[in-house]
Structure 1
Amino acid sequence: MKLVITGSSGVVGRALVRSALAHTAHTLLLVDVLPPAERLTDPRVEYITADLLDYDVFLGLLQGAGGLVHLAGYPNPRLAGAAKTHNTNTSLSYNALCGAAEAGVSKVVLASSINAIGGAWSPGEPHYDYFPVDESHAASPSDAYSLSKQLAEVQADSVARAHAWMSITCLRLHAVLPEGSRVDSAERSRKDLWGWTEPAEAARACLLALEVPWKGSEAVFIVMPTHRAAEEDAHELKERFWPGVEVRTESGRLEGKQGFYDCSKAERVLGWKAGAA
Structure 2
Amino acid sequence: MKVVITGASGVVGRALVQAALAHTQHTLLLVDLLPPAEPLTDPRVSYTTADLLDYDVFLRLLQGAGGLVHLAGFANPRLASPARVCNTNTSLSYNALCAAAEAGVSKVVLASSVNAIGGAWSPGEPQYVYFPVDELHPSTPSDAYSLSKQLLEQQAHSVARAHPWMSITSLRLHAVLPRGQGLHIANAERARKDLWGWTDPAEAARACLLGLEVGWKGSEAVFVVMPTHRAGEEDAQEMRERFWPAVEVRTGSGRLEKEQGFYDCGKAERVLGWKAEGGKMPGGVEGAS
Same fold (TM over 0.5): yes
Q: Quick one: percent identity of the two aligned structures? A: 81
**Partner amino acid, structure 1, of 2:205:** A
| 2:224 matched residue in structure 1 | 222
In structure 2, C-alpha distance between the alignment counterparts of 1:66 and 1:188, rounded to whole Å: 42
| 1:241 matched residue in structure 2 | 243
Q: How many residues align?
A: 277
**Partner amino acid, structure 2, of 1:225:** P
In structure 1, C-alpha distance between the alignment counterparts of 2:51 and 2:201, rounded to whole Å: 25
Q: Shift in Å at residue 276 of structure 1?
A: 6.9
- TM-score by structure 1 length? 0.99
In structure 1, C-alpha distance between the alignment counterparts of 2:243 and 2:258, rounded to whole Å: 16
| 1:124 matched residue in structure 2 | 124
Partner SS, residue 271 of structure 2:
helix
In structure 2, C-alpha distance between the alignment counterparts of 1:203 and 1:228, rounded to whole Å: 20
Matches within 5 A, 1:6-21: 6-21=6-21
Q: Shift in Å at residue 179 of structure 1?
A: 1.5
Runs of 4+ in 1 over 4 A off after TM superposition: none
**RMSD of the alignment, in Å?**
0.9
Partner SS, residue 120 of structure 1:
coil
Partner SS, residue 31 of structure 1:
strand
In structure 1, C-alpha distance between the alignment counterparts of 2:130 and 2:243, rounded to whole Å: 13
In structure 1, C-alpha distance between the alignment counterparts of 2:5 and 2:152, rounded to whole Å: 17
Partner SS, residue 203 of structure 1:
helix
In structure 2, C-alpha distance between the alignment counterparts of 1:24 and 1:250, rounded to whole Å: 39
| 1:35 matched residue in structure 2 | 35
| 1:78 matched residue in structure 2 | 78
| 1:182 matched residue in structure 2 | 183
| 2:265 matched residue in structure 1 | 263
Q: Shift in Å at residue 178 of structure 1?
A: 1.7
Gaps of 5+ in 2: 280-289
Partner SS, residue 78 of structure 1:
helix
Matches within 5 A, 1:144-183: 144-180=144-180, 181-183=182-184
**Partner amino acid, structure 1, of 2:114:** I
**Partner amino acid, structure 2, of 1:237:** M
Q: Shift in Å at residue 40 of structure 1?
A: 0.3
Give the counterpart of 1:197 among 183, 196, 199. Answer: 199
Partner SS, residue 240 of structure 2:
helix
Partner SS, residue 122 of structure 2:
coil
In structure 2, C-alpha distance between the alignment counterparts of 1:34 and 1:140, rounded to whole Å: 34
- TM-score by structure 2 length? 0.95
User: Deviations for 1:143-190, whole angstroms, at most 9, x for unmatched residues?
Assistant: 000000000000000000000000000000000022113211201100
Matches within 5 A, 1:48-127: 48-127=48-127
In structure 2, C-alpha distance between the alignment counterparts of 1:72 and 1:182, rounded to whole Å: 22
In structure 1, C-alpha distance between the alignment counterparts of 2:256 and 2:57, rounded to whole Å: 48
